[in-house]
Chains A and B, each alone.
Chain A
Amino acid sequence: MGETPIDDRELRNLMTLYQRADPAALEELVRRISPPLLRYFAWSGPWSSNGWSQAGRNDTEDLLQDCWIRIHRARHTYRSTEPVMPWIYAIARHTRLDAYRKRRRLESREVLVATLPERFHQTVPDTDREPDAFERLVASLPESQREVIVMLKVSGMSLEEVANATSSTVGAVKQKAHRAYATLRRALGKDRENAG
């Protein structure tokens, strides 16, 4: 399921040095792990449809910073005998879920107004670029399936590692991936028919 973009052995060494308070290891970890994390937040959350706009980008960057604070606080729970990415993604997943719940709570408290003031009456005003057709397809997948696809394809994690990161079983991860593939294959087939 894709090649591993980050060498786990190197990450384990960096994590061990990070636990010993090596600032260079911390810098290197932030540099290496942040891009896949940013991608995970951009694609896994309920706001992924905004993933290409500045608004969505701000959300993901906030999540990334929050996630790093949590990683920092929990760094003593990492054991050098275990792979790094499932540990990182398990924390990232909770960061995302907590942010989602917080967002839902805030939204439920919002007071509805009949009409929005003129200057706020824009949905996604600052779109950087339009998502392509395949990105739209991936974004249309259910959240849990998209999360599995991102971990498998973007981070190159194994089925077992994804299962550990999501507190799930290998069977459940396989099933989600299989369903996501089936949905994407069906949609691609439809696109082809329409084009043909």
Chain B
Amino acid sequence: MPDNPLGAELERQLETWAASQPDAELSEEIQRNVQAMLKSSLTPVKPLPSQSRLILTFLVVFAACTAGVTAIMDKTGFHLATRGEIVWMTAILAGGGILFSHALAWRMVPGSRHAFPLPFVLALSGLGVIGGIALLFPWRTSRAFVSEGWPCAVMELTIAVPAAVVFCLLARRGALFGEAGAGAALGGLAVVLALTVLQFQCMFQQAPHLLVWHAGMAAILIGSGALIGAASRHEV
């Protein structure tokens, strides 16, 4: 309630302004045009499944793809890492997968309430991965830092791109607007999948290597996803 005369006056003026619709009188012609245009392609549609079902679908595909790709790849990282490193990193990356699945599912439905806003998802996942690597893995590096590292970055890219295509196919029924957020959410989910596979595959289980070549590449890929999302002006 307005607590002063000026506030009451403003409230009154706003009410009058909102109630008067001089600019919003829809011409009969426009209304008829819109109705005719839409009626010509009016067919029954099946509404999207519930939010929880969408999230579950993403998570099942995420888990299946991770398990499938890990199974066909070398598992040196899995054998070299300690039990603590494996458990914590798996938990952190699975958490990232859950958060990005939420973010992507919510973006498929316009005007829906975001349980986890994307900046929060990005920050929490980023902190989790960086913190986990920094605290769990030894801080030592070899002289062949670059030559050991770039194959990992290429491998991450090779896994993340097809994964992004798979998630894009799953999400295409939603009303994903061409925007940075949708690209980042999609890219994030694909990148977490790639990071999980790489964590089990990579033979260089040292913090500098993991931070630069795994997490660094992940950040670049998510950024690229956001840029591609913003650049693709996909009309709903």
Measuring CB to CB, which residues of chain A are less than 8 angstroms from any residue of chain B? 2, 19-21, 23, 26-27, 30-31, 34-36, 38-39, 42-43, 51-52, 57, 60-61, 64-65, 68-70, 72-80, 82, 85-91, 94, 98, 101, 129, 134-135, 138, 149, 153-154, 160-161, 163-165, 167, 169, 181, 184-185, 188-189, 192
Q: Which residues of B contact A52 (CB under 8 A)?
A: 23
Taking a contact as CB atoms under 8 Å apart, the answer to whether A184 and B17 are in contact is no
Select from chain A the residue with minimum beta-carbon distance to B23.
A42
- Report A38 CB to chain B, min CB distance, Å: 5
Given contact pairs A39-B23, A76-B45, A188-B9, A94 touches B117 in the complex (Cβ within 8 A): no
Interface string of B36-59 (1 = CB under 8 A from A): 011101111111101000000000
Size range of the chain B interface in the assembly = 35 or more
Taking a contact as CB atoms under 8 Å apart, the answer to whether A75 and B34 are in contact is no
Q: Which residues of B contact A69 (CB under 8 A)?
A: 37-38
Pick the most buried of B47, B117, B173, B181: most chain A CB atoms within 10 A of its CB.
B47
Taking a contact as CB atoms under 8 Å apart, the answer to whether B43 and A188 are in contact is no
- Report A3 CB to chain B, min CB distance, Å: 9
Given contact pairs A30-B38, A134-B17, A138-B17, A82 touches B111 in the complex (Cβ within 8 A): yes
Q: Which residues of B contact A38 (CB under 8 A)?
A: 23-24, 26
Taking a contact as CB atoms under 8 Å apart, the answer to whether B48 and A101 are in contact is no
- Report A81 CB to chain B, min CB distance, Å: 8
Q: Which residues of B contact A23 (CB under 8 A)?
A: 39, 42
Given contact pairs A76-B45, A167-B114, A70 touches B24 in the complex (Cβ within 8 A): no
Q: Which residues of A contact B43 (CB under 8 A)?
A: 21
Given contact pairs A64-B34, A94-B177, A153-B14, A76 touches B6 in the complex (Cβ within 8 A): no
B73-123 with Cβ < 8 A to chain A: 108-114, 117
Select from chain B the residue with minimum beta-carbon distance to A169.
B117
- Report A50 CB to chain B, min CB distance, Å: 11
**A86–B110 Cα gap in the complex (Å)?**
8
Select from chain B the residue with minimum beta-carbon distance to A94.
B177
**A70–B236 Cα gap in the complex (Å)?**
6
Q: Which residues of B contact A31 (CB under 8 A)?
A: 26, 31
Pick the most buried of B26, B110, B233: most chain A CB atoms within 10 A of its CB.
B110
10 example contacts (A-B, Cβ-Cβ < 8 A) are as follows A19-B47, A39-B23, A61-B27, A77-B109, A77-B110, A86-B112, A91-B110, A153-B17, A164-B111, A164-B114
Pick the most buried of B10, B43, B236: most chain A CB atoms within 10 A of its CB.
B236
**A138–B17 Cα gap in the complex (Å)?**
9
Taking a contact as CB atoms under 8 Å apart, the answer to whether A73 and B111 are in contact is no
In the complex, whether B13 has a CB less than 8 A from a CB of chain A is yes
In the complex, whether B33 has a CB less than 8 A from a CB of chain A is yes
**A102–B27 Cα gap in the complex (Å)?**
26
Q: Which residues of A contact B35 (CB under 8 A)?
A: 26-27, 30
Taking a contact as CB atoms under 8 Å apart, the answer to whether B17 and A72 are in contact is no
Assuming A19-B45, A34-B34, A185-B6, what are 12 further A-B pairs, CB within 8 angstroms?
Answer: A19-B44, A52-B23, A76-B173, A80-B47, A94-B236, A135-B17, A138-B17, A154-B18, A161-B111, A185-B7, A188-B6, A189-B6
- Report B36 CB to chain A, min CB distance, Å: 10
Select from chain B the residue with minimum beta-carbon distance to A98.
B233
Given contact pairs A74-B175, A138-B17, A65 touches B45 in the complex (Cβ within 8 A): no
- Report A155 CB to chain B, min CB distance, Å: 9
**A69–B65 Cα gap in the complex (Å)?**
36
**A189–B13 Cα gap in the complex (Å)?**
13
**A83–B201 Cα gap in the complex (Å)?**
47
